[in-house]
Amino acid sequence: MKINKIIIPQTGIKGLKENWKSDVLAGFFIFILALPLSLGIAKASGFPPAMGVLSAMIGGLITSFFRVSALVIKGPAAGLITVCAGAVAEFGGEETGWKIACGVIVVAALVQILIGFLKFGSLSDFFPHSSIHGMLAAIGLIIIAKQIPVLLGDDPTMYKGEGPIELLMDIPKFVVQSHWHIAAVGLLGLLVMFLLPVIKLKFLKKIPAPLFVLILTIPLAIVWHFRETEPAYSLVTIGDFWGTININADFSLIGTFAFWKYVFMFLFVGSLESLLTVKATDNMDPFKRVSSYNGDLIGQGFGNVLSGLLGGLPMISEVVRSSANVGFGAKTKWSNFFHGIFLLIAMIAIIPFIELIPNAALAAMLIFAGYRLAAPKEFIHTYHIGKEQLAIFITTIVLTLVEDLLVGVAAGILVKMIFHLLNGASFKSLFKTNYTINTEKDITFILIKDSAVFSNLLGYKKMLTKLPNTQNVVLDLSNTVLVDHSFMEFIHHFEHVFNEHGGNFTIVGLENHKPFSDHPLATRKKLK
């Protein structure tokens, strides 16, 4: 039987010569997605709107020359809106808060580079998936809450300083005091964002939803004379973009607790979300390339240093644009580079056109992005994995909404550890690996004892990744007291990759374990 060998695209100049047509086309479509989203993310973050475009430009033009993932798109992301907005507000708001937040971004980026060089990229595996997804869902809810008044055209002074729960409770007030022209544009944009992906018309499938929103809402803003009849906040304001680009980072509060709190939050959320995106994009890659997490963090870190210094937002590997990049047929990192080129051209040639974009249209795009993070299917999916996962997920969401991201994630981790202890795992085994390795003939037997859970996963991952993928390996879990969802998900992904590269990896010993749900990767407890 003939096996078709996958031919991996070349890198560098050879890759450009070989794939420039597909990468230019993909880069152009990603540019169309990135332009309005970058503007909206920056505005929602308390940064000058064009600074979001600056961040995306750097993400394309600079990071593409580092050892980053082949198909990811670097740029500002909705997931960091809450951290950015929180930093700007805590540091005084307006220009002062923005510039100090930029200083925080630079320091966080330097730490990010250090983490990459020290090869600590795998530390992301320590955090339980249910807590991470709970954090992202909470961020989605916060984005929705903060963008509803923008969508309706309400005066920003009405809701300045309000938290997400207060904003949601004030929705009736926002509806009553909305500007109907602005609200109509925003609601139309929202309708398009939700309906376009489900309309089964072939020609519409080729139009990115944000582009369709702009096609419909910009003419309305012109016909209804937004510039003359509506408040100044109704349209995007770019101003002197090239004059704004300077050394804008302010390090004057580097000695304060608040400064370092946000350094950690930028580092934590940005790195986690980025690494999750890299992992997801690798799974979508038709050429089955495996990215270097550490290399990606280093490239991203250098991009963030430059972005922060010049006044831009922090960038990450952004999941929506990266998945779209795969769908548009990108082959190499040059698609990310070309999306940066098109953004550069836009900021040189069409700023007057960009300033016709209604902010309500951008709010519609962000609300849709928030919905994707906090969609009901996420709650249902988590419940199907196990009730204990749902408890961790909801705990993280609630504490994030009430307190902040760090408290929410910490609470989720604590709840998960308590569940593990209640289900028979010893406290010592939560952090320590316990296994034996024996080789008989051409088979390597690995026997894992005690517990195999998220908090000791790094040790097991380090051991397993050292195995030559040409071996026959049997992983025996018969002596484990507890195997949690994070470990199950990792080990099944590892099995797939190992076998795909020519090895033979087999998992045995779970027959006497009771799963916590019908989900194939549910947590399992050994029967007594």
The residue ranges of every structural domain in the chain are 12-369, 373-422, 428-526
Radius of gyration of the chain (CA): 24
Tokens of 402: 């009430």
Q: How far apart are CA 508 and CA 477, in angstroms?
A: 6
The mean per-residue pLDDT over the stretch 217-245 comes to 93
The mean per-residue pLDDT over the stretch 454-471 comes to 86
Looking at the whole model, is its pTM more than 0.85? Answer: yes
The mean per-residue pLDDT over the stretch 296-308 comes to 96
Secondary-structure class of domain 428-526 per CATH: alpha beta
Tokens of 453: 């859970």
Q: Using one digit for the tens of pLDDT, what is the confidence trace for 506-516?
A: 999 999 999 99
Residue 503's pLDDT band, with cuts at 50, 70 and 90, is confident
Q: Using one digit for the tens of pLDDT, what is the confidence trace for 315-370?
A: 999 988 998 899 889 999 999 999 999 999 999 999 999 999 999 999 999 999 99
What integer pLDDT is reported at residue 498 of this predicted model? 87
Q: How far apart are CA 46 and CA 51, in angstroms?
A: 10
Place of tokens 């996962």: 389
What integer pLDDT is reported at residue 309 of this predicted model? 98
Q: Using one digit for the tens of pLDDT, what is the confidence trace for 420-456?
A: 999 999 999 999 999 999 988 788 999 999 999 999 9
The mean per-residue pLDDT over the stretch 296-323 comes to 95
Residue 114's pLDDT band, with cuts at 50, 70 and 90, is very high
Residue 2's pLDDT band, with cuts at 50, 70 and 90, is very low
* 95 pLDDT above the threshold of 70: yes
Q: State the distance between the two ends of the chain, measured CA to CA, in whole angstroms.
A: 47
What integer pLDDT is reported at residue 5 of this predicted model? 55
8 A C-beta contact, residue 149 and residue 158: yes
* 4 pLDDT above the threshold of 70: no
The backbone torsions φ and ψ at residue 374, rounded to the nearest 5 degrees and listed phi first, read -120, 30
* 3 pLDDT above the threshold of 50: no
> Considering the chain, what is the average pLDDT of its residues?
91
Between β-strands 316-317 and 74-75, what pairing exists: parallel, antiparallel or unpaired?
A: antiparallel
What integer pLDDT is reported at residue 255 of this predicted model? 96
